[in-house]
Amino acid sequence: MLFFSILLRRTRRVLICLKRSALRAAAIAFAVSFMICMYMRLFTDKVGAEYKTISDVLIVTMICSWFVCFIAELTKYALNTFHRYDEDIIGTAFTGMDRKSAIFEKGNYYFHHGDFRNAMDCFAELETGDYLLTTEEKGVLSFYRGRCYHIIGAYPNALLNYEKAQANGFDIPVLPIFIARCSAENGDTDRALQLYSKLIDPSYKHHDVIRTEVGKMYLRLNDGETALKWFQEAINLRENYSDALGGAAIAYTMLKDFKKGEELYRAALLNGIRDPVDYTNYYKEIQAAVLLETHTG
């Protein structure tokens, strides 16, 4: 059954690529034919053979360009069965040849290229327009709308959409972390802690990042002491190690232990912390703020 499902989706993808490439091929063929027609009108006397020549060129150009455009369109999907991005997340949603699938694909393209405004416009059109969505598609759509809102910092809207995704049966391991993050950003620390406490369980796929997640939450609350406890636990357990070192460096700096903070800051960089430039800027900002507070206090 799974084999036939994959085969059907691949067939749909091939047909969609053929349709899209046909439109481009037709445009190329007519453009080439028009240029040849103009050339023959202006620079040759082959009036009798003109129409047959143009029709032959049109057909040959159409076939060749269709083949090239089809291959180019198909290669965008690499080894993916249907979707260009996040196929493991999207699953069988939006795999039809209809307009709603085309709009979602367009929105997903914008999303993965950092154009969140246009992505949100596409996703909003699907939700508010007259489109018949399956429960799976509603869940996927709400998740991506939530991701857009989350990334731009609109946490209440992000949380609302994440919860709608859950209500429609959408479930991926990282979703509870996103919900906890948004809850914390919205000021609901108790709910965030309640969610995080369930995710520390070793059976949870991403359990190794939870302690650093909690530590970062307390950093945002300007509670360096509590944050340090969580980061220290993560360091001792070698969980999300570089991030734990980086978080501890910030916590020590907040607690005015600049020497220890600098030591751990350098350790975090040596251990390959993600986004070292952004992290360094953040660390320096905290350090400058605490130094200013120390000198003016």
Instruction: Write the DSSP symbol of residue 84.
Output: S
pLDDT at 82 over 50: yes
pLDDT at 226 over 90: yes
Looking at every residue in the chain, the average pLDDT score rounds to: 85
Contact (CB, 8 A) for 175 and 150: no
Domain ranges of the chain: 2-75, 202-297
Is residue 1 very low, low, confident or very high in pLDDT (cuts 50, 70, 90)?
very low
Mean pLDDT of the region 224-243: 96
234-256 confidence digits (pLDDT tens): 999 999 999 999 999 999 999 99
Span 76-101, average pLDDT: 75
Contact between 139 and 169 (Cβ < 8 Å): yes
Instruction: Please state the length of the chain.
Output: 297
Q: Can you tell me the mean pLDDT for 39-64?
A: 64
First to last CA, the chain: 70
Q: Amino acid letter at 294? A: T
CA distance 296 to 222: 18
Write the class of the CATH domain 202-297: mainly alpha
Token couple for 66: 């269709």
- Write the CB contacts of 22 (distance below 8 Å, at least 6 apart in sequence): 66, 69
Residue 32's closest CA among 65, 67, 58, 70? 58
φ, ψ of residue 275 to 5 degrees: the values are 50, 60
pLDDT tens digits, one per residue of 141-199? 999 999 999 999 999 999 999 999 999 999 999 999 999 999 999 999 999 999 999 99
